[in-house]
């Protein structure tokens, strides 16, 4: 098994874990903002322990990276809040289908950040995914708002994934994630007064039930500390586009699990599954094209 195959196999395992996060978001009774606050706070504590016991330095090679990671944390907080809000105003399936547009955004953002040309086949595959989204829009119009929230969340995810792709080239992934979770926690804490005013409520829901604490710990330690940190680590070898395109498989894993947990709420129309199938086709085609182009480039080099 090649290193690339190992990386993609592990990435699929991580995506499987992420597919469960939307279900946890529905199972936890806390509002989306408070839920993400506890998620990032618990993740920060977990990462603090990991970095300390692994005897890693909390300093970065470049001082500016402290501010970059803290700012990226604010983006992550916004992404997760919109993600969980989407799952609640629509359902898990629609939320995950909207998140699959992540590769579409990445196909434009990654070349912009890395100052390279846009690869035509990346755009074509992203358009296929977009057609799938358009079909879902058409047949599931009742979930329009939830799908829009998920797509905005996907755009933010594409942005911070590209940023992480550059950071991992010079910094430790666990230290990166630690500062990003700190940044996310601080951003939400600063957002609380605006949130209270906007919602017209007097107090925050900061008293999770016992079951909520259990789900929050799984969400923070398994889905964030473990899965997110290792996804950042994988970006040392995989491009942001290939990572986000593989993450498009999250709807398959998530929808399958949602059908088990919420069978009545998650029954969708045939058009929804057709749209989702188109999105997933773009995921499966990408590694085949990428591998073929790499072989072609290698053969060209050998002939020179």
- What pTM value is reported for the model? 0.77
At residue 248, what are phi and psi to the nearest 5 degrees? Answer: -60, -15
pLDDT of residue 2: 77
Cα-Cα-Cα-Cα torsion 105, 106, 110, 113, nearest 10 degrees, comes to 40
Neighbours of 131 (CB within 10 A): 15
What's the token pair of residue 152?
A: 């905005």
At residue 77, what are phi and psi to the nearest 5 degrees? Answer: -60, -45
The secondary structure of 47-89 as a DSSP string is HHHHHHHTT--SS-SSTHHHHHHHHHHHHHHHHHHHHHHHHHH
Range with top average pLDDT, 34-48, 156-170, 254-268: 34-48
Overall average pLDDT of the 14-29 stretch: 85
- The residue ranking higher by pLDDT, 105 or 211, is 211
- The residue ranking higher by pLDDT, 265 or 234, is 234
pLDDT of residue 173: 85
Each residue's pLDDT tens digit, 108-132: 787 877 777 777 887 788 788 778 7
Q: Is the pLDDT of residue 184 over 90?
A: yes
Q: Which phi-psi region, left, alpha or beta, contains residue 237 (left: φ > 0; alpha: ψ -120 to 50)?
A: alpha
Average pLDDT of the chain is: 82
Q: Is the pLDDT of residue 52 over 60?
A: yes
- The residue ranking higher by pLDDT, 85 or 283, is 85
How far apart CA 97 and CA 113 sit, in angstroms, is 26
pLDDT of residue 248: 66
Radius of gyration (C-alpha) of the chain in whole angstroms = 19
Reported as type and span, the H/E element at residue 210 is helix 210-217
Domain boundaries, the chain: 3-303
Q: Is the pLDDT of residue 40 over 90?
A: yes
Q: Is the pLDDT of residue 261 over 80?
A: no
| Spatial contact of 33 and 191, defined as CB atoms under 8 Å apart | yes
Q: Is the pLDDT of residue 301 over 60?
A: no
pLDDT of residue 265: 65
């Amino acid at each position: 098994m090649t290193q690339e195959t190992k990386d993609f196999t592990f990435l699929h395992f991580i995506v499987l874990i992420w597919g469960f996060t939307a279900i946890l978001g529905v199972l936890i009774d806390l509002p989306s903002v408070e839920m993400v606050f506890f998620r990032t706070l618990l993740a920060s504590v977990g990462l603090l322990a990991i970095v300390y016991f692994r005897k890693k330095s909390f300093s970065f090679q470049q001082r500016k990276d402290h501010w970059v990671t803290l700012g990226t944390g604010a983006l992550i907080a916004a992404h997760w809040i919109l993600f969980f809000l989407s799952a609640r105003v629509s359902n898990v399936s629609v939320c995950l289908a909207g998140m699959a547009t992540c590769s579409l955004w990445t196909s434009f953002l990654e070349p912009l950040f890395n100052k390279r040309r846009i690869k035509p086949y990346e755009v074509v595959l992203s358009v296929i995914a977009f057609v799938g989204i358009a079909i879902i829009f058409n047949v599931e119009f009742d979930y329009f708002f939830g799908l829009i929230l998920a797509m905005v969340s996907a755009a933010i995810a594409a942005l911070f994934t590209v940023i992480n792709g550059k950071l991992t080239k010079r910094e430790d992934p666990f230290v990166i994630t630690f500062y990003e979770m700190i940044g996310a926690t601080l951003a939400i804490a600063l957002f609380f007064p605006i949130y209270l005013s906007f919602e017209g409520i007097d107090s925050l829901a900061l008293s999770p039930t016992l079951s909520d604490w259990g789900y929050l710990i799984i969400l923070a330690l398994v889905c964030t500390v473990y899965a997110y940190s290792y996804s950042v680590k994988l970006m040392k070898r995989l491009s942001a586009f290939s990572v986000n395109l593989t993450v498009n498989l999250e709807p398959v894993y998530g929808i399958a699990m949602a059908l088990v947990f919420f069978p009545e709420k998650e029954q969708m129309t045939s058009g929804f599954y057709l749209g989702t199938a188109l999105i997933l086709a773009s995921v499966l085609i990408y590694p085949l094209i990428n591998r073929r182009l790499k072989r072609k480039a290698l053969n060209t080099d050998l002939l020179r």
